[in-house]
């Protein structure tokens, strides 16, 4: 059976604002991604468990290679938020954050979000805008339910979910992940585009 297609060439890149766009990450982006992660290491490592495991450009290449494998199989889509700049009379892209459907399940028509921004761009509304575009994209490929799993203390990320119209589930996932040797519990936010069809008479 063929893997479901994410049709990335048809939908991306997606313009967000002047000089800022959203597109799938590629191995060629490794140096740019590593620079922004390294510069924002203390800030990002508060809630992202993978940050301490990326200490070389080669490790970033390996992560991006894994992301592309997920994309090829239809299991996930990881995008960068890129700002186009002029450097030495050339246009160059610098990554300033990321947003994606980190887990995609075509059988259940569900997708789970992941996102982050460099510290200097927090409060800019870019995460909300990128996720809004990804919801539109997800709908176009058949998704009906979106989830965002957020650490209890990550109030900024929770605010993004609420601005997008997600609703908080009452149940909390205890010790959902370990960050800096500390177990973090997750709040789950859900956006249901279509109510599940009942099979009962």
Q: Is the pLDDT of residue 199 over 70?
A: no
Q: For residues 136 and 165, is the Cβ–Cβ distance under 8 A?
A: no
Q: For residues 115 and 122, is the Cβ–Cβ distance under 8 A?
A: no
What is the distance between the alpha carbons of residues 27 and 78, in angstroms, rounded to a whole number? 12
Three-class SS string for 88-131? CCEEEEEEEEEEEEEEEECCCCEEEEEEEECHHHCCCCHHHHHH
Work out the percent of the chain whose per-residue pLDDT is above 90: 75
pLDDT, one tens digit per residue, over 12-42 is 999 999 899 999 999 999 999 999 999 999 9
Q: How confident is the model at residue 1 (pLDDT cuts 50, 70, 90)?
A: very low
pLDDT confidence of residue 201: 43
Instruction: Report which of 151, 160, 147, 146 is spatially closest to residue 186, judged by C-alpha positions.
Output: 151
Buried b / exposed e over 42-64, threshold 16 CB at 10 Å, is ebbeebbeebeebeeeeebbebb
- Phi then psi for 200, rounded to 5 degrees? -85, 155
- Name beta bridge partners: 81: 22, 97
pLDDT, one tens digit per residue, over 168-195 is 999 888 888 778 778 888 999 999 987 6
Which pTM was predicted? 0.89
């Amino acid at each position: 059976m063929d893997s479901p297609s994410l049709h990335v060439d048809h939908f991306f890149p997606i313009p967000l604002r002047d000089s800022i766009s959203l597109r799938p990450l590629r191995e060629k982006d490794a140096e740019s991604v590593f620079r922004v992660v390294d510069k924002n290491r203390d800030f990002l490592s508060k809630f992202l468990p993978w940050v301490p495991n990326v200490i070389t450009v080669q490790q970033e290449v390996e992560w991006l290679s894994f992301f592309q494998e997920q994309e090829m199989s239809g299991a996930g889509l990881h995008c960068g938020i890129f700002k186009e700049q002029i450097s030495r009379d050339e246009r160059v892209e610098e990554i300033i954050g990321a947003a994606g459907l980190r887990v995609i399940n075509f059988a259940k028509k569900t997708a789970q979000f992941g996102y982050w921004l460099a510290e200097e761009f927090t409060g800019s509304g870019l995460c909300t805008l990128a996720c809004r575009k990804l919801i539109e994209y997800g709908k176009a490929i058949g998704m009906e339910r979106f989830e965002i799993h957020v650490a209890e203390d990550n109030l900024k990320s929770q605010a993004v979910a609420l601005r997008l119209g997600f609703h908080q589930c009452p149940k909390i996932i205890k010790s959902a992940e370990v960050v800096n040797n500390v177990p973090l519990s997750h709040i789950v936010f859900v956006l249901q585009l279509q109510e599940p069809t009942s099979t009962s008479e």
